[in-house]
Structure 1
Amino acid sequence: MAGKPFSFGTDRWDPAHRFETSWLISPWALFFFRALFSLYGFFTTVFISIWQCYNSPIGCLESEERFSYFTILTYWGLSFYFLVSAVHTFTYARSGVPLLDRFPRPLQALHSAFYTTVVTYPFTVTIVYWAVLYSGPWYPKAFDGWSNVSQHLLNSVFALFEIIIPRTNPMPAVHMLWLIIVLALYLAVAYITHARWGFYPYSFLDPGKQHAWVAAYVFGIAIGALIIFGVVYGLVALRKWVTETKLGKHGKFSKQSPRRIEHDEEMVEVTSEASPAKPPAPASA
Structure 2
Amino acid sequence: MLSKDKVYALLGYSTPFDKKYTFVSSWILPPVALSCLRILLGSYCFIAIIYSYVWFSGNIDIYHLHDISEPTYTTVIGSSAIGRSFSYFTYLSYYGQGFYFIVTGIHGLFYARTGTTRLHSRFPPFLQVLHSLFYSCVTCFPILVTLTFWCTMYVGPWWTVTFDAWANLSVHLMNTVMALLEITLATTAPLPWTHLPVLMVILSLYLGLAYLTRVTGGFWVYEWLVPYFGWWKIVLHVLGYTVAIILIFAFVRYTIWTRNWLLRRYKREEGAMDAFVAEKLGQEPDSSRSSRMLLSDPEAQRSSEGLWRPPLPVHQSLPRIGARI
TM-score range, shorter chain: 0.7 to 0.9
Determine whether 1:41 maps to 2:61.
no
Q: Which residue number in structure 2 is paired with residue 254 of structure 1?
A: 302
Matched residue, 1:152: 172
Structure 2 residue runs without a partner (length 5+): 1-8, 61-75, 268-292, 315-325
1:99 equivalent to 2:99? Answer no
Q: Report SS of the residue matched to 2:22.
A: coil
Deviations 1:210-255 (A, max 9, x none): 4311110012102211110001100000001102333453245233
Amino acid of the residue matched to residue 213 of structure 1? K
Look up the match of 1:83.
102
Indicate yes or no: 2:35 matched with 1:31: yes
Which structure is larger by alpha-carbon Rg, 1 or 2? Answer: 2
Is 1:21–2:25 an aligned residue pair?
yes
Question: Would the alpha carbon gap of residues 202 and 234 (structure 1) be closer, same or farther in structure 2, given more than 3 Å must change?
Answer: same
2:302 maps to a residue whose letter is: S
Matched, 1:51 2:55: yes
The answer to whether the 8 A contact 2:184-2:256 is kept is yes
* Partner residue, 1:173: 193
1:244 and 1:92 map into 2 onto residues whose CA distance is 23
Cα deviation for residue 273 of structure 1 reads 11
Shift of 1:272: 10
After superposition, the C-alpha distances for 1:241-283 in whole angstroms (9 at most, x for unaligned) are 1023334532452334599xxxxxxxxxxx9999xxxxxxxxx
Corresponding letter in the other structure for 1:217: H
CA distance in 1, matches of 2:313, 2:129: 30
Q: Which runs of 4+ in 1 moved over 4 A?
A: 271-274
Structure 1 residue 197: Cα displacement: 2.0
> CA separation of 1:246/1:210 partners in 2, compared to 1, >3 Å: closer, same or farther?
farther
Which of 229, 233, 244 is the aligned partner of 2:253?
233
- 1:101-151 CA-to-partner distances (Å, cap 9, x unmatched) read 121111001000000001100000000000001011101100000000000
Which stretches in structure 1 are left out of the alignment for 5+ residues?
1-6, 260-270, 275-285
Q: RMSD over aligned Cα, in angstroms?
A: 2.2
Give TM-score scaled by structure 1 length: 0.85
What CA distance in whole angstroms lies between the structure 2 residues aligned with 1:69 and 1:21?
Answer: 32
Contact 1:22 1:30 in 2 (8 A): yes
Distance in 2 (CA, whole Å) between partners of 1:19 and 1:98 is: 10
What residue identity is the alignment partner of 2:79? C
Q: CA deviation at 1:98?
A: 1.4
> Whole-Å Cα distance in 2 between the matches of residues 193 and 228 of structure 1?
27
CA distance in 2, matches of 1:238, 1:104: 31
Distance in 1 separating the partners of 2:306 and 2:18: 14
- Map of 2:66 onto structure 1: none
Cα deviation digits, residues 59-118 of structure 1 (max 9, x gap): 532210111110000000000000111011011011111121121111001000000001
Instruction: Give me the TM-score of the superposition, normalised by structure 2.
Output: 0.75
Aligned to 1:61: 80
Aligned residue type for 1:45: I
* Alpha-carbon shift at residue 53 of structure 1 (Å): 1.2
Residue 120 of structure 1 contacts residue 232 of structure 1 at CA under 8 Å; is this kept in 2? yes
1:20–1:85 Cα contact (<8 Å) kept: yes
Choose the corresponding residue for 1:71, options 69, 90, 101.
90
